Structure 1
Amino acid sequence: MISNTVRFWLYVSLLIPSVICTLFAIIYLLINRTLRNVLTNHIIIIILSLSLISQVTYYPWMLYYYQYKGTWRRAQIFCLIWGYLDWCIYITQAILFAWATVERHILIFHDRWVSTKKKRFIIHYIPPLLILLYCFIFYFIFWFFPPCRNNFYNSDMLCLDPCITYNSTYSMYETFAHLILPALIIIVFSIALFVRVLVRKRRVHGTIEWRKHQKLAIQVLSISILYLVCLFPYALYCIMYVYKVRTKAFRDFEEYAEVLAYCMTLLLPFVCILSLPELRTKFIKILRLRCRTRRIGIETITVRPTTKN
Structure 2
Amino acid sequence: MATISVQRHMLIFHGHFLRISWMRIVLHNLPLLLCLIYPMMFYFFAIILYPCDGTQWDYTSNLCGFADCYLLFNKILGTFDWSFNNGLPMVVNALANIALIVRVVRQKRRFQHALTWRQHRRMTVQLLAISSLYIIAWAPSLIVGLVQILGYPTFLAQIQTDFFLDLIYIVCLFLPWVYLSLLPELIRWIKELFRHGQGRNLVGPTRTIQLETRL
TM-score, normalised by the number of residues in structure 2: 0.76
CA shift in 2, pair 1:224/1:152, >3 Å:
same
Equivalence for 1:272: 179
Equivalence for 1:160: 66
Task: List runs of 5+ in structure 2 lacking aligned partners.
Answer: 202-215
The answer to whether residue 93 in structure 2 is matched with residue 186 in structure 1 is: yes
Equivalence for 2:135: 228
Equivalence for 1:81: none
Residues 278-289 of structure 1: pairs in structure 2 closer than 5 A: 278-285=185-192, 289=195
Residues 1-309 of structure 1: pairs in structure 2 closer than 5 A: 97-150=1-54, 151-156=56-61, 157-165=63-71, 166-202=73-109, 203=111, 204-205=113-114, 218-245=125-152, 249=156, 251-252=158-159, 254-285=161-192, 289=195
Query: Do the aligned residues in 2 keep the contact of 1:101 with 1:189 (CA within 8 Å)?
Result: yes
Question: Could you tell me how far apart the structure 2 residues matched to 1:249 and 1:171 are?
Answer: 17
Query: Do the aligned residues in 1 keep the contact of 2:148 with 2:155 (CA within 8 Å)?
Result: no
> What SS does the aligned partner of 1:153 have?
coil
How many percent of aligned residue pairs carry the same amino acid?
A: 26
The C-alpha deviation readout for 1:134-154, integer Å capped at 9, x for no partner, is: 111111122111133342112
User: How many pairs does the alignment contain?
Assistant: 195
Question: Could you tell me how far apart the structure 1 residues matched to 2:133 and 2:182 are?
Answer: 12
Amino acid at match of 1:154: Y
Instruction: Please report how far the alpha carbon of residue 281 of structure 1 lies from its aligned counterpart in structure 2 after TM superposition.
Output: 2.4
RMSD (Å) for aligned C-alpha atoms: 3.1
Question: Could you tell me how far apart the structure 2 residues matched to 1:217 and 1:104 are?
Answer: 14
Instruction: Please report how far the alpha carbon of residue 173 of structure 1 lies from its aligned counterpart in structure 2 after TM superposition.
Output: 0.8
Instruction: Please report how far the alpha carbon of residue 250 of structure 1 lies from its aligned counterpart in structure 2 after TM superposition.
Output: 5.2
Question: Could you tell me how far apart the structure 1 residues matched to 2:13 and 2:123 are?
Answer: 12
Structure (1 or 2) with the larger CA radius of gyration: 2
Query: Do the aligned residues in 2 keep the contact of 1:237 with 1:254 (CA within 8 Å)?
Result: no
CA shift in 2, pair 1:276/1:126, >3 Å:
farther
Question: Could you tell me how far apart the structure 2 residues matched to 1:246 and 1:143 are?
Answer: 19
Spell out structure 1 runs of 4+ moving beyond 6 A: none
> What SS does the aligned partner of 2:152 have?
coil
CA shift in 2, pair 1:216/1:128, >3 Å:
farther
Structure with the bigger RCO (C-alpha within 8 Å, sep 6+) is 1
TM-score, normalised by the number of residues in structure 1: 0.55
Question: Could you tell me how far apart the structure 2 residues matched to 1:148 and 1:276 are?
Answer: 47
The C-alpha deviation readout for 1:97-141, integer Å capped at 9, x for no partner, is: 111111111111122221222221111111010121111111112
Question: Could you tell me how far apart the structure 2 residues matched to 1:285 and 1:232 are?
Answer: 39
CA shift in 2, pair 1:257/1:160, >3 Å:
closer
> What SS does the aligned partner of 1:161 have?
coil
Question: Could you tell me how far apart the structure 1 residues matched to 2:123 and 2:40 are?
Answer: 29
